[in-house]
Structure 1
């Protein structure tokens, strides 16, 4: 029987295309920005920086909303508590990274000093927000891996290991000249895999392994 996914749960599917799409549009239209060299966090600076700040915050809030929907969809069983919490933390990290902007550097925005920036309090908090997002995403994948392993969904269990491994490999590849592009690719993998997980969670509700718990995903 087919099931509709609640608007709250579906919010996490929207977050990825919104964040990556808006970032790429800005990256290719902002004067002086070079996606092969500048991290997309620098798009939060300058006169048009509010666009990327909004992008961070809205995408993060969409994940927080999705976590609320996920809590309803994962009725019981392994990971039913921590999976939604970690998805919410992933979103919270994006909000912090948006509100607390990165420090100018590498010649962007135009007129900024070349080279590495001098870190300010908001630059440090920006990096902390990014770290929270990354660690929470990785942890959520492992929690889902444990859940799917327990119920015998081997393909999803393996995917929950393969996706984090791919992101880590892309991010730590020893080539500084491509680090900015690789960070975007890594973010794309993260968002895409979370979207796939959300779709799977919505389609499986009430959870097949715990069918006695009558939790429904509706569009109310």
Structure 2
């Protein structure tokens, strides 16, 4: 092997390692939303006494099998946060470069925070709990973390929509706006009807949107449409 070839190999190795790390991080963000939603749906279908119309998904963290949903909060939150780091490393200049990844990171870390505080029993679930007249401080902290997580994701949708519009990517811009609109509309219906299935539907739209963004960036990074620093990949 010639000296010039050796120098090229040595120089290329760090770049390849950095690229692999970015792909791993974006891959984490890609699986976060579907994993969270699938785990919730399986639990809702199998947990005895759980009624998705009367009980918020956070109530799944209560009872004998509550550790499953608690773990779901933590794992999904960490995956989403990893995806946010990956997005920051590949987004070039322009809208969403800074606040897009930050908001995605807040979304993920707030899910982890939601796992750290136990929500209160609600409407007879689990069977041993009847629901407190006054929410506990742990329950309030859990609800606050969940609210911050949802709002951060809605804000991220708007930030990315602005980026897509600035680049003439109207389909992605429309998808981003539709995601936040659907989430807010579903939250309004849930507040009016008391049916928590609407909250799950609205969340599912934005969770999968965030994963779609990570997948988009992952594909573009893999095909060499960015350098990881200065070239836009959106």
Instruction: Please tell me whether the aligned partners of residues 90 and 229 of structure 2 are also in contact (alpha carbons under 8 angstroms).
Output: no
1 CA distance for matches of 2:206 and 2:49? 27
1:54 has 2:71 as partner: yes
Give the TM-score normalised by the residue count of structure 1: 0.87
How much does 1:145 deviate? 1.1
Q: Note the C-alpha offset of 1:203.
A: 2.9
Given that 1:103 and 1:118 are in contact with CA atoms closer than 8 Å, whether structure 2 keeps it comes out as no
CA–CA separation in structure 2 for the residues paired with 1:211 and 1:100: 37
Structure 2 partner of 1:136: 152
1:110 to 109, 124, 127: 127
- TM-score of the two chains, using structure 2 as the length reference: 0.82
Instruction: Name 2:13's counterpart in structure 1.
Output: none
Aligned residues, how many? Answer: 212
Shift of 1:98: 1.4
Match of 2:93 in 1: 76
Deviation (angstroms), 1:76: 2.2
1:14 aligns with 2:31: yes
- State how far apart, in whole Å, the 2-side matches of 1:180 and 1:174 are: 6
Q: Runs of 5+ in structure 2 lacking a partner?
A: 1-18
Offset of residue 179 of structure 1? 2.1
Q: Deviations over 1:40-75 (max 9, x none)?
A: 111111121111100011100101110111111103
Residue in structure 2 matching 1:42, options 59, 67, 92: 59
Change (3 A) 1:132 1:207: farther
CA contact (8 A) 1:93 1:132 kept: yes
Q: Does the C-alpha gap of structure 1 residues 55 and 174 become closer, same or farther in structure 2, counting only changes over 3 Å?
A: closer
Distance 1:11 1:30, change over 3 A: same
C-alpha contact 1:36 1:177 (8 A) present in aligned 2: no
Cα separation, partners in 2 of 1:117 and 1:207, compared to 1, 3 Å: farther
For residue 181 of structure 1, the aligned residue among 197, 203, 217 is 197
Match of 2:230 in 1: 213
CA distance in 1, matches of 2:52, 2:190: 18
Give the number of the structure with larger relative contact order, counting CA–CA contacts within 8 Å between residues 6 or more apart. Answer: 1
